[in-house]
Structure 1
C-alpha cells in the first residue's frame, strides 16, 4: 500500500461489506484444488495489519499442506476415534484454555443448540445418532477436505488481551481470503488435541495452540455450505446513549 492509511480512500465500500457478510464457516472444500502459496502469503501479509496492544503482534502461523497435512489429519482422527471408543481417555486431551464457559446460560446455550441441531438436521442426523455425530465432528479434523490447514499459536507468557488481538488477526485472514475467492472455517475443535498438533508443527514448549483454520475453495455443490447461522439484529445488542 503506497498511500498513507489516513488518506487511503475505499473506492468500493460495497466490496468490503460483501467480503465480511459472505464469510461463513465453510464445511466442505474442494480437496483437489490447491491454493497458491502466493495467495496464502498475501492473505497473511494483509491480515498482519490487525491491531494489537502496543504492537505486540502475538500471532504465529503454521501452514500445513500436502503430506504434512495428511499426516496430521491421520494422527488426529485416530485419536478422535479412540476417544469415541473409550471416553475415559478424555484426560489425555485437555484443552489449555477455556474457549467455552464451564456453565452455559441463556441466550448463549439457546443459540448453541439451535446451531447444532440446525446443522445436524440439514445433514440428516437425528438426536441419539452418536456414530453419525462423531463422524460429522471428525470432519473438523479432516479439515473439511480443505487442502490447507492453518494452525495458530501464541506464547504462553502473553495475557488475555493478546487473545483478543489474535481474534482480530483471524478475522482479517477470513475476510482477506474472500478477496482471493477462498473460504475458511475457524476451528476451536483442534484445541483438545494440542498434544498432537504442537509436536507435529514443530512448535516450541512456550507456545500454546489458539485454534486451527481450514482454507480452500468451497465445494459450492455440497448442501452443508447452504447452512448460514442467523445473527441478532443491531437493536438486539446495542444501546444508544445520548
Structure 2
C-alpha cells in the first residue's frame, strides 16, 4: 500500500511538471549555475533511444560565446535546413499552428496584418529570445530516421529537466534553418545534421510572451482505444 501511494504521488508530480512546461520567450538576467547545467544534461542523457544508440550530440553555448554567436547569426545570410521543413500545413495542423501563432501575437501586441511586427517576433528566435544559454542538438545522418525519433525523446527529457529546476526553455526548429552556418561555426562533420536548438535560462514571469499556454486537443481527437 505504501509503495502504491508513493507511486501515485510521483505520478502527480510528473503530471504537474508536464503541465507547467511551456515555451519561454522572455528571460530574466543571470546565467544558470554550472552545477544545475550539469544536472540538466545528466538527466537528459537518460532519455530512451533505439537499441541504446543515444545518437544525439549537443553543443551548449553561454556567456560571451553566445554573444558572439548572436552577432554572427545576424550577419550571416545563408538559409537552409538539413531536414526538409513542411511545404505547407493543411487542415487541423494549419488550424493549430495559426491558433498558437495568434496567441503569441496577441500577447506581445502584434495586430493582425502587421507583417513587420510578426517578422520582428520571428527574428527573436535568432537572438535566442535573450536567453543566457542555448543548446544545439544534432544527430548523425548515418543512423537513419529513428535517430530523429530518439532525439525527440531527448529534447522532451531536456525540457522537463529544465522545468524541474524552475527554469524556462523553448525548443526552436527555427535555428535549424541556419544549419550551414552552424556547421561552420561548430566545425561539425558533414554527417552531423542539425535538428533544433533549445534556448533556456531563468524565466521572466512578467514577460507578455510568457503569459499564455498553447491549447491541447482532447485525447479523443488524438488517441483510439481498442479492447
TM-score by length of 1: 0.86
Tell whether the 8 Å contact from 2:61 to 2:135 is kept in structure 1 after alignment.
yes
Choose the corresponding residue for 1:118, options 103, 107, 119: 103
Distance of 1:127 and 1:74 partners within structure 2: 30
Structure 1 stretches of at least 4 aligned residues deviating more than 6 Å after TM superposition: none
**Greater alpha carbon shift after TM alignment, 111-120 vs 140-149:** 111-120
Q: Is the CA contact (8 Å cut-off) linking 2:81 and 2:180 kept in structure 1?
A: no
Matches within 5 A, 1:102-117: 102-117=87-102
Displacement, 1:61?
A: 0.6
CA positional deviation for 1:102: 2.1
- 1:220 aligned partner: 205
2:114 maps to: 129
Write the distance in 2 (CA, Å) between the matches of 1:223 and 1:117: 13
Once the 2 structures are TM-superposed, how far is the Cα of residue 73 of structure 1 from its aligned partner?
1.0
- Displacement of 1:209 after TM fit? 0.7
Is 2:35 the counterpart of 1:50? no
User: If the length of structure 2 is used for normalisation, what is the TM-score?
Assistant: 0.92
> Which residue among 14, 21, 24 is the counterpart of 1:23?
21
Contiguous gaps of at least 5 residues in structure 2: 1-5
Within 5 A, what are the aligned runs for 1:14-163? 14-30=12-28, 32-79=29-76, 92-98=78-84, 100-163=85-148
Contact 1:63 1:151 in 2 (8 A): yes
2:218 counterpart residue number: 233
Greater Cα offset, 184-193 or 15-24: 15-24
Cα distance in structure 2, aligned partners of 1:18 and 1:200: 38
**For 2:138 and 2:25, how far apart are their aligned partners in 1?**
23
Conserved in 2, the CA contact under 8 Å of 1:28 and 1:224? yes
Q: How many correspondences in the alignment? A: 221
Cα distance in 2, alignment partners of residues 180 and 116 from structure 1: 27
